[in-house]
Amino acid sequence: MLSKAISAALSTALLLAGALALGGTQTASASWVLTTPAAPARAAATTMPTGQLPTVKGTNLGVLGWSYTVTWPSTPTLDGTPVTGYLVTRAAASGGGSALAGGTCAPVNLLGLGFSAIVPANAGATQSCTETSLVTLGSPKYQVTPVYGNWRGAPSPWATAT
């Protein structure tokens, strides 16, 4: 009887081992790993938004010249990231311009050429800077260009002071 029991137990154990081995094979089959050779996917970069048309308000300061306040709407974000600043460019309109100017739009503006600087962007819906022209040569015009790092957007149309 003991021999029978041992024999039966042995048989059962071996069958179980065999079944486990087969089961293990199925598990191994499920862990097949297919690795492709390197194949091309694609990605693309966005582009900068175009600057929004500014408005320019001129204020006569008498012997001190003119003050120009340039205001423009904030440009759309780069998929959630706002631009870091704006480049404000001045030019002479109809032979106008400035012989010498300063302010928050640009540190120095000489003979209407200007040394453009980046006006840091604020988080609001509108942006603004002010330029004071000590010696005016006529009505200047302005345009704004959005900036993000080394990227530049297309400049806005020119806007003349009113």
Answer yes or no whether residue 5 interacts with another protein by CB under 8 A. no
Kindly give, in sequence order, each residue whose CB lies less than 8 Å from that of residue 63, ignoring residues fewer than 6 positions away.
none
Distance CA 90, CA 97 (A): 8
CB of 95 to another protein, least distance (A): 32
CB of 133 to another protein, least distance (A): 30
Nearer to another protein, 79 or 94 (CB): 79
Candidates 1, 62, 63, 81; binder of another protein (CB under 8 A) is 81
Nearer to another protein, 26 or 94 (CB): 26
Which whole-number Å values give the CA distances from 85 to 23, 32, 62, 67, 128, in the listed order? 64, 52, 32, 22, 11
Residues numbered 102-141 forming contacts with another protein, rule: CB under 8 A? none
Nearer to another protein, 62 or 80 (CB): 80
The residue length of the chain stands at: 162
Distance CA 64, CA 43 (A): 54
Distance CA 61, CA 160 (A): 18
Candidates 1, 2, 4, 62; binder of another protein (CB under 8 A) is 4
Nearer to another protein, 21 or 63 (CB): 21
Which whole-number Å values give the CA distances from 45 to 73, 85, 151, in the listed order? 24, 20, 12
CB of 150 to another protein, least distance (A): 5
Q: Are 146 and 49 in contact (CB under 8 A)?
A: yes
The token pair at 58 is: 């001129």
Residues numbered 11-70 forming contacts with another protein, rule: CB under 8 A? 11, 14-15, 17-22, 24-25, 28-48
Distance CA 48, CA 145 (A): 10
Sites of contact with another protein (CB under 8 A): 3-4, 7, 10-11, 14-15, 17-22, 24-25, 28-48, 78-81, 148-152
